[in-house]
């Protein structure tokens, strides 16, 4: 066995453990009864510790060293795989074992506490858990940054997407901050003249579920290799051969749950479309969180909220709820008005694509201050309120549920993740603009509920590429341009001011 082959074998074992972890995580979020929480937190911490042990095993360092002289003989994919192995080795050896298990334990515990505390806005109970978790996360970020010559926050960003830096985000977000407020005013004024007609509920959950499954399948989700369930906070988890999306239903509104399912399907299609021949190796993984979000947002924002898809979906929706085809309330036009409704609101996950980046900018600016030591967890409710007033003109004072306590991310230890959503949105716009020029009859096929041409293009251009190149290189290679905000702004203008 060559050193490279020995590395592949070692990383196959790591992939097996990552599979195990993905199942545990999904189960914790969707299935686990409340009382199982503490024991589960311990079990997940133990597992995280073993994963870390395997990733940082001295043998890996030796094998990586031994491959250096013969790297030229490897194929392009093997070289990219080796590069990902090196990345895993560097970031894992930056962290001591006890920090990794403590961080996992703190994250699971804090997330469980958040779930219990959010309904009653019990900030006092969750704050100490968040403080412990943040302290461990900061220590980890500092150590990772030191090892790689990066600031702690850049080290976190880099872990979610190789090469991503705060400088780039600063520029991108400054551009959006300059564009969005004025644009938002224009859109609000225009939309005031044509409000959507209210949809008459209630919408029985079993009908919603059947509808969701039907459209998720239309997009191309493979139920032989995946499931769809209910969870507290919708997500896409599992592994490529067993991809699991979740949603949450409410019987007085079906629009959110449905679009949430289609969003997660975008993630799932990416995961199910990762290169089959590299499934067990690091190079076969998804590229990074911004590209992952680009795949969900391409489906949700570029396609499923657009007229072509809604012309198709309106019929499926009417059939699901037994509605009359002639009723304007159930028309594609009215669904489109609902799905492109722009409003200043408190909740990120309910936000339209125009105000969404403002929610992200809020979180990004707070995160940077947290890791620069300018804010502490206890300052978060006030900082949140201040930022929301500045960016969206809304106060969250005394409204923690719809303020700082609305998102799971920080309480689950995901710092540095939020920018991915907006980077994903601009990536989605740029990729989709290219798809429109390259895929013949794209709009027509979508209007007929045929996603094969679009998914085929994504499979070849994005999904099937795994981690062969960086996100930056992929975007340049597919679209011919570095990532920027132009396509996103053009999309917004076309949909909201002229569409």
Residues lying near a second copy in the complex (CB under 8 A) = 12-13, 16-17, 19-20, 23-24, 27, 31-36, 38-40, 42-47, 50, 222-227, 238-242, 279
CA 275 to mean position of chain CA atoms: 20
Element (H, E) at 111: helix 97-117
By beta-carbon proximity to a second copy, the closer residue of 17 and 150 is: 17
What residue spans of 277-355 are helical by DSSP H?
289-297, 307-321, 332-339
Surface-to-core class of residue 28, CB atoms within 10 Å of its CB (0-12 exposed, 13-18 middle, 19+ buried): buried
- Least Å distance, CB 347 to a second copy, is 29
Residue 293 burial (10 A CB sphere; 0-12, 13-18, 19+): buried
Catalytic choice (264, 293, 300, 367): 264
**Contact criterion met (CB below 8 Å) for 396 and 404:** yes
Minimum gap (Å) between residue 390 Cβ and a second copy: 43
Cβ 239 to a second copy shortest distance, Å: 6
Cα(77)–Cα(277) distance, integer angstroms = 11
Report the first-to-last Cα separation within the chain, whole angstroms.
Answer: 60
Computed on alpha carbons and rounded to an integer, the radius of gyration of the chain in Å comes to: 23
**Which of 239/370 has CB closer to a second copy?**
239
When the beta carbons of 34 and 440 are compared against a second copy, the nearer one is 34
Q: What does the alpha-carbon distance between residue 378 and residue 366 come to, in Å, rounded to a whole number?
A: 12
CB nearer to a second copy: pick between 32 and 439: 32
Name which of 51 and 474 has its Cβ closer to a second copy.
51
Query: At its nearest, how many Å lie between a second copy and the CB of residue 111?
Result: 16
Q: How many Cα atoms sit within 13 Å of 248 on the Cβ side? A: 9
Minimum CB separation from a second copy for residue 51, in Å?
10
Neighbours of 73 (CB within 10 A): 11
Please choose, from the candidates 39, 43, 61, 62, the residue with its C-alpha nearest in 3D space to the C-alpha of residue 51. 43
436 Cβ neighbours under 8 A, 6+ residues apart: 442, 443
CB 148 within 8 A of CB 155: yes
Q: Is residue 264 among the annotated active site residues?
A: yes
Nearer to a second copy, 35 or 119 (CB): 35
Closest distance between a second copy and the C-beta of residue 12, in Å? 8
**Residues designated catalytic:** 264
């Amino acid at each position: 066995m060559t050193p490279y082959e020995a590395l592949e074998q070692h990383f196959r074992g790591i992939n097996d453990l990552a599979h195990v972890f993905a199942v545990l995580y999904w189960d914790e979020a969707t299935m686990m009864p409340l009382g199982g929480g503490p024991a589960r937190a311990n079990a997940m911490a133990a597992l995280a510790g073993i994963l870390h042990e395997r990733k940082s095993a001295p043998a890996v360092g030796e094998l990586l060293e031994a491959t250096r002289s013969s790297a030229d003989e490897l194929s392009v994919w093997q070289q990219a795989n080796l590069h990902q192995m090196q990345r895993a080795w560097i970031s894992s050896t930056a962290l001591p074992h006890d920090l990794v298990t403590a961080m996992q334990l703190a994250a699971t515990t804090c997330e469980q506490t958040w779930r219990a505390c959010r309904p009653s806005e019990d900030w006092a109970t969750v704050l100490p858990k968040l403080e412990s978790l943040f302290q461990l996360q900061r220590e980890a970020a500092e150590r990772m940054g030191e090892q790689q010559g990066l600031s702690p926050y850049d080290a976190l960003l880099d872990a979610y997407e190789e090469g991503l830096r705060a400088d780039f985000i600063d520029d991108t977000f400054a551009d959006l901050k300059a564009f969005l407020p004025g644009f938002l005013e224009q859109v609000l004024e225009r939309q005031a003249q044509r409000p959507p007609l209210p949809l008459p509920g209630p919408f029985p959950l079993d009908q919603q579920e059947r509808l969701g499954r039907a459209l998720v399948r239309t997009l191309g989700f493979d139920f032989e290799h995946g499931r769809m369930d209910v969870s507290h906070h919708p997500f896409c988890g599992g592994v490529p051969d067993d991809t699991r999306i979740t949603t949450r239903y409410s019987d007085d509104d079906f629009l959110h749950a449905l679009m949430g399912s289609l969003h997660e399907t975008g993630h799932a299609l990416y995961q199910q479309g990762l290169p089959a021949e590299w499934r067990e190796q690091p190079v076969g993984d998804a590229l990074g969180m911004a590209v992952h979000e680009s795949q969900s947002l391409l489906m949700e924002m570029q396609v499923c909220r657009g007229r072509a898809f809604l012309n198709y979906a309106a019929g499926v929706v009417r059939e699901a709820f037994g509605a009359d085809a002639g009723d304007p309330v159930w028309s594609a036009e009215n669904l489109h008005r609902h799905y492109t409704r722009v409003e200043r609101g408190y909740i990120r996950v309910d936000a339209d694509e125009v105000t969404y980046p403002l929610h992200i900018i809020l979180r990004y600016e707070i995160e940077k201050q947290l890791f620069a030591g300018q804010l502490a967890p206890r300052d978060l409710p006030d900082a949140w309120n201040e930022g929301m007033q500045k960016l969206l003109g809304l106060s969250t004072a005394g409204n923690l549920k719809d303020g700082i306590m609305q998102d799971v991310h920080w309480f689950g230890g995901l710092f540095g993740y939020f920018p991915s959503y907006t980077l994903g949105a601009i990536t989605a716009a740029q990729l989709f603009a290219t798809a429109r020029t390259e895929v013949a009859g794209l709009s027509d096929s979508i209007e007929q509920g045929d996603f094969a041409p679009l998914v085929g293009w994504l499979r070849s251009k994005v999904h099937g590429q795994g981690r062969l190149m960086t996100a930056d290189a992929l975007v340049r290679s597919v679209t011919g341009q570095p990532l920027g905000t132009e396509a996103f702004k053009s999309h917004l203008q076309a949909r909201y001011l002229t569409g």
